[in-house]
Structure 1
């Protein structure tokens, strides 16, 4: 089962609220378990590039079934293989911070990525997003 659109919107709303409290202007991207974009929420003042980076990061972690840290380690360990995967995937693959899988009952149901704030703000917002669903684990 994938993340529903209503759930994705609720997660985005919670992250937006948290980012406002931090004084951060971020872009929130939430994808389903197949990496397909469900919500793209670019806050006023968030960098224009963040609206391209966040969805690519979210889709990447969903497709690889690895959080951003694991995906970055994979890219560092096997750069040539990673480059071939990117070419074969025919979709942007971005191994960057603040991207997390969303789990329910032991299965990946989606992913979230944040871009536009500081690294710490983006990471905190991603954690808030993952933790905002009652049944997410």
Structure 2
């Protein structure tokens, strides 16, 4: 049996970024949008005008945490808020909402991390980008 691995291409990353940027601009939210492949390697980074520079690293780390654990970073934020502090010691976790894995045909192909506004707004922007990619598949 031959297995086929799907990959997140630069073109895919640009589609995600365009969808995320449109959502951010529609709401007037200055953010950084980071997209990584399934190994956590940066494919695309976009910093909208007016975004604080610290959001660059935060967005990248949100994306890396989302693909490393194959789940939204919101999971870690909720666990920490519930008092499960042991999760703070897991390498690669970032307990701040706004990092989402990208799955295509049930395969993890990469992740999106957004930083710059409230964490639930970051997640909204990331999801908008993913939705654009998936609507074109």
Q: Normalized against structure 1, the TM-score is what?
A: 0.83
Deviations 1:75-104 (A, max 9, x none): 566534651x32xxxxx5422101111111
Partner residue, 2:47: 42
**In the superposition, relative to structure 1, how do residues 64 and 43 fare at CA in structure 2: closer, same or farther (>3 Å)?**
same
Equivalent residue number for residue 3 of structure 2: none
SS in structure 2 of the partner of residue 103 of structure 1? strand
RMSD over aligned Cα atoms? 2.2
Deviation at 1:72, TM superposition (A): 3.0
> Which of 73, 85, 92 pairs up with 1:79?
85
Aligned residues: 131
Ranges in structure 1 where 5+ consecutive residues have no aligned partner: 87-91
Name the SS for the 2:44 alignment partner: strand
C-alpha contact 2:34 2:59 (8 A) present in aligned 1:
yes
Q: Tell me, what secondary structure is at the counterpart of 1:96? A: coil
Q: Does 1:131 align with 2:122?
A: no
Q: Is the 8 A contact 1:50 1:116 kept in 2?
A: yes
C-alpha contact 2:38 2:111 (8 A) present in aligned 1: yes
Q: Distance in 2 between matches of 1:21 and 1:14?
A: 11
* Moved beyond 4 Å, runs of 4+: 73-78
Query: Which residue number corresponds to residue 2 of structure 1?
Result: 7
